Structure 1
Amino acid sequence: MIKRIFLLFFGLLFMMSCAAQMPKEDSNDSNETQDVIDNNSRPKLVVGIVVDQMRYDYLTRFYDKFGQGGFKRMINEGFNCKNNHFNYIPTYTGPGHASVHTGTTPKYHGVISNYWYDKELKTSVYCAGDDNVAPVGTTNNAGKMSPHRMQTTTFADENRLFSQMRGKTIGVSLKDRGAILPAGHTANAAYWFHGKDEGAWITSTFYMNALPQWVTDFNTSNKAESYFKEWNTLYDISTYVESGSDENTFERGFKGKDKAVFPYDLAALKVDNSGFDILKETPYGNSLTTDFAIAAIEGEGLGKDQFTDVLALSFSSTDYVGHNFGVNSKEVEDTYIRLDKDLERLFNYLDTQVGAGEYTVFLTADHGAVNVPSYLSSVNIPAGYVSNSDRKEKFQAFLKATYGTADILENISNNQIFLNRAKIMELGLDLSDVQQAIVNEQITYDNVAKAYSATTMNAANFTEGIESLLQNGYNQKRSGDVIVVNDVAFISYSRTGSTHGSGLNYDTHVPLLFFGKGIKQGSTYQKTIIPDIAPTLSALLGISFPNAATGQPLEFVID
């Protein structure tokens, strides 16, 4: 009897303990409250910043020249992913912007380059070009653009779908592709800068039939004209010890000026340098972009209601300056010092207009850049230049000797060889055999490091190295029959200025900074990849990932 009472007593204690741990009957109300808290915790505005051609080491090289309110504010108050890389080839502007915002690679989003050979149309196409739309804000064909060649959604698209189109998306960049691809297919607007003799921000009928009044007002404000002034270093040039000498043989400079040295009189040089286009190759192009972005935030009322808005903002002048003057130039250093000031100006505006702690920013790049190979050679680092025309001539001779004709070659572009498959069939040849024969030929050429066939790209499963990056950038329907990889730091380019496109660290290692609402403070050397960005933002917003995203949310970033 005593034993039974003892067991009943402890049984009751056990049941009471379990009941205490079980959800209460009004737990649904508790979950609803939590959902409300989650909804309220979403930022009012997400600003996605892509700095064109920004290597990671620009953050560290120029760190002491930065103020407290731009890059340093993001680093000190936000999260710094120090080992962030692109995980595909080629590292160009179009694929870069698409990959940042779609959370995947060219293998899936289809933007395999800025321009590529279309195997069906038998011609080169532009990643944002669209003859089915009309220009708005200009009569120039520079306005005939849309995102129709990008095959997947961006996180901004998913935010629009989630909010029943009530959350706005605006894209802003000097470059059309820098505004259009990040903003996605459902954007309210994307605006880009048409220079030449117009100097106006434009769009296309993909988005609207007429410019909003605030854009018209901006275009007639003479803001762009105000930057036709002297470009000199912001600080004493003797303090720019983080870069090479001002006068050297590794920079192109501007037409109408004998040497690529400071200062630059832009008002005098604009005549020989395509008018307003010269601004793109100076830090003032970034300042103008900041001016317009601030006008867009005000004009569109971004961050003013309970639905998260997205501003996709790309700074393009860094790329133009890098291509002109090179990674090690004082012009690049001054451009980043001035960009830091523009970021501070933007953040201060957001603090006032949206509210400090009410917006979230991420900053990354669309690719890095190689140091000028002629400079690298001068300091005994292996580097150099390749001649595509010489290679093509040698290759055509091989085709004639092997197959009796060079007509099986259809196009060579973006380090890819496209074959005339109808001609190969007509000659009774096996496509995979021809591809492999070309691989065996190409690998014998000077400064060709690797070559792979489409058959290999489709059949193999590479998980590391350059081969994996090639596969992530290979789109079965759009890419070529053979892919060629050059030796390290060997490029097809002029002997002045920098370029990009490879899968090497100088092109893949770029910044990734998160800052603002919902972001932890800290840093990591853990490797992150570009496709992780969009899923991280999607997780922060509680929305669906972009529909072909392959990246993973960076949990350690989210607070």
Structure 2
Amino acid sequence: MRLFRFIAVLLIVGYSHQVEAQRKSKNGPPEQIAPTIGTAPKLVVGIVVDQMRYDYLTRFWEHYGQGGFKRLVNDGFNCRNNHFNYAPTSTGPGHASVYTGTTPSTHGIIGNHWYDKVLDEEIYCASDDTYQSLGTESEAGKMSPHRMQVTTITDQLRLHTQTRGKVIAVALKDRGAVLPGGHMANAAYWFHGSGEGHWISSSFYMDDLPQWVKDYNLSDAVAQYKKPWTTFKDKGSYVESVLDNNAYEGLFQGENAPIFPHDLVALWDANEQFDILKSTAYGNSITTDFALAALVAEDLGADTITDFLAVSFSSTDYVGHMYGVDSKEVQDTYLRLDRDLERLLNSLDKEVGANEYSVFLTADHGAVQVPSYLKDKKIPAGYMEYEDIKSTFDTFLKYTYGTTDIVKHFSNYQFFLDHKIIENLDLEVGQVQERIAKELLTYDAVYQVYTADQMRQNQYTRGIPYILQNGYNQKRSGDILVVLKPGFIKYPKTGSTHGTPQIYDTHVPLLFYGKGFKKGSTVKRTEIPDIAPTLAVLLGIAFPNGTTGTPLEMVLD
């Protein structure tokens, strides 16, 4: 009897819920309850921290304040196993992949520079001589995103809103602003140092700089950072880093040792004046200052039509390249960046509203620890320069093919062959690729080698070949792809670099915070191309037209 009553109650409850869900209108069929579609944020802020390894979050955690990285992690969603799923892992491809939702195999930005097989010359990912510099007489403003072959999430926002939603992109590096801004940005601004210290742009976006940018450049907003670079906290508390004076770090011109404080005033003229600021923690503060000025001057997030502010912090990369992953300079740069993020979030609270904006933070690549440091710690590591193998390699080419000209170019760990010479020698391209690949595999620093034929003919789903294939563009990439051993790099003996498919270059942070995002974390693997489609779902707009990533359902509220 009790069981009968229990079943009856369930049926009644279920029926009442069904009636509630399908309320009858007076003159028609049951009224269907529409699924809830959340209101889009007034502003999306995309943050890319150049060369940020994931472990910078954890390594410096105890030094961070409550309002920067900790606010994003504790009150947002942390994807702890986030990776680039392609190589080369460098700045141009990184920014393009974050914003297009796909990889170089589709968007075409296969490096910062690459050899153009049609033009027979090396080209830069953002250069465009058909446009003019704005804000400088130099060539530094002749840029556009024309080499990026698909749309970005920022393009899709502009298309969706009939260009009513604004897109502004800001970075010290031109490529860090041009590529995230996409093809339809209202403006992209980057920093030109030298003797000027100005924020500049390209006539691709506008005919002249806005008055607020001109006024900003006339102010002392940048010049105030012409001062010694001292540590944010007591240097002795930076126990998470190696000794300040060591053999693994580079030097500014005129310095005798890579130690704090760095007297930027004394070093100014010997290091191209304002350019020196890029390689200090102050470069991120300069970027934050200008981004906040843009937020106010452009009225971003001022109405219900979603705007987008893309900010890339480039100084983390400059500092990492000069001083290395384990340096006190890197630690100080991240502690100061933490305070800049706090300033940015507090300003967003004030100008847009605490619950009216959405943020993501990620990186464009990671970085390797300095191999010379690793070697001293008895960890396998080392260096390889093309010049180191050139003599042996040239001898092989002459003996096998009668000429070294069969190889036209080497860049981004890729060899480009001269197909005309191969044809004249009555050889098959695929056979030449395979023969050269086998030779390269005999060299000590080389870990794996793949050919263009392998990239085209196979479908890899895991491991290094999967990562290489996602970075391989059939029209733009080379004939032979070389992977060095873990811990081996093609770089000087001081400082850190990146570019490989190894995990230290692929594992980077991915944080979501603000309107439309849950609080939490996951150790499930996520990949960089997942960011743009996740934002598209958040905003209710079309995916970028080359998207290969998947929306991250677990981060969406």
1: CA distance, partners of 2:158 / 2:496? 38
1: CA distance, partners of 2:98 / 2:204? 22
2: CA distance, partners of 1:329 / 1:83? 24
> Does structure 1 conserve the Cα–Cα contact (< 8 Å) formed by 2:151 and 2:546?
yes
Structure 1: which amino acid aligns with 2:294?
A
Cα offsets for 1:126-145 (capped at 9, x unmatched): 00010111111111111100
Which residue of structure 2 lines up, in the alignment, with residue 185 of structure 1?
183
User: Structure 1 residue 410: deviation in Å?
Assistant: 1.0
User: Structure 1 residue 397: deviation in Å?
Assistant: 1.8
- Secondary structure in 2 aligned to 1:556? helix
> Does structure 1 conserve the Cα–Cα contact (< 8 Å) formed by 2:77 and 2:511?
yes
Which residue of structure 2 lines up, in the alignment, with residue 432 of structure 1?
430
2: CA distance, partners of 1:133 / 1:242? 46
Aligned residue runs from structure 1 range 127-276, under 5 A: 127-276=125-274
- The answer to whether 1:423 aligns with 2:421 is yes
Aligned residue runs from structure 1 range 244-323, under 5 A: 244-323=242-321
Cα offsets for 1:304-342 (capped at 9, x unmatched): 111100111000000000000000000000000000000
> Does structure 1 conserve the Cα–Cα contact (< 8 Å) formed by 2:367 and 2:504?
yes
Structure 1: which amino acid aligns with 2:491?
Y
> Does structure 1 conserve the Cα–Cα contact (< 8 Å) formed by 2:24 and 2:31?
no
User: Structure 1 residue 444: deviation in Å?
Assistant: 0.8
User: Structure 1 residue 396: deviation in Å?
Assistant: 2.1
Cα offsets for 1:436-489 (capped at 9, x unmatched): 111111111121111111001000111100010000000000000111111111
From 476, 495, 498, the counterpart of 1:497: 495
Structure 2: which amino acid aligns with 1:420?
D
Aligned residue runs from structure 1 range 46-125, under 5 A: 46-125=44-123
Cα offsets for 1:346-388 (capped at 9, x unmatched): 1000100001010000000000000000000000000011121
Which residue of structure 2 lines up, in the alignment, with residue 10 of structure 1?
none
- The answer to whether 1:339 aligns with 2:337 is yes
User: Structure 1 residue 162: deviation in Å?
Assistant: 0.5
Which residue of structure 1 lines up, in the alignment, with residue 456 of structure 2?
458
Moved more, 315-324 or 395-404: 395-404
Which residue of structure 1 lines up, in the alignment, with residue 346 of structure 2?
348
> Does structure 1 conserve the Cα–Cα contact (< 8 Å) formed by 2:189 and 2:201?
yes
- The answer to whether 1:486 aligns with 2:484 is yes
Structure 2: which amino acid aligns with 1:206?
F
2: CA distance, partners of 1:306 / 1:30? 29
Cα offsets for 1:134-189 (capped at 9, x unmatched): 11111111110000000011111111111111001011000000001011000000
Structure 1 residue ranges without an equivalent (≥5): 1-13
Cα distance change, pair 516–28 in 1 and its aligned pair in 2 (3 A)? farther
2: CA distance, partners of 1:478 / 1:24? 60
From 529, 534, 540, the counterpart of 1:531: 529
Cα distance change, pair 57–17 in 1 and its aligned pair in 2 (3 A)? closer
- Secondary structure in 2 aligned to 1:302? coil
Cα offsets for 1:183-239 (capped at 9, x unmatched): 100000000000011110000010011100110111011111110111111111111
2: CA distance, partners of 1:378 / 1:20? 71
Which residue of structure 2 lines up, in the alignment, with residue 8 of structure 1?
none
Which residue of structure 2 lines up, in the alignment, with residue 545 of structure 1?
543
Cα distance change, pair 53–29 in 1 and its aligned pair in 2 (3 A)? farther
What TM-score, normalized to structure 1? 0.95
2: CA distance, partners of 1:62 / 1:28? 61
Cα distance change, pair 190–16 in 1 and its aligned pair in 2 (3 A)? closer
Cα distance change, pair 189–34 in 1 and its aligned pair in 2 (3 A)? farther
Identity %: 59
Structure 1: which amino acid aligns with 2:84?
F
2: CA distance, partners of 1:78 / 1:168? 25
- Secondary structure in 2 aligned to 1:248? coil
Structure 2: which amino acid aligns with 1:184?
G
Structure 2: which amino acid aligns with 1:151?
Q
Cα offsets for 1:260-283 (capped at 9, x unmatched): 000011111111111100000001
User: Structure 1 residue 495: deviation in Å?
Assistant: 0.6
2: CA distance, partners of 1:478 / 1:69? 43
- Secondary structure in 1 aligned to 2:555? coil
- The answer to whether 1:473 aligns with 2:471 is yes
Cα distance change, pair 22–436 in 1 and its aligned pair in 2 (3 A)? same
- Secondary structure in 2 aligned to 1:264? coil
User: Structure 1 residue 391: deviation in Å?
Assistant: 1.9
Which residue of structure 1 lines up, in the alignment, with residue 5 of structure 2?
none
Which residue of structure 2 lines up, in the alignment, with residue 5 of structure 1?
none
Cα offsets for 1:520-540 (capped at 9, x unmatched): 011111110100011111100
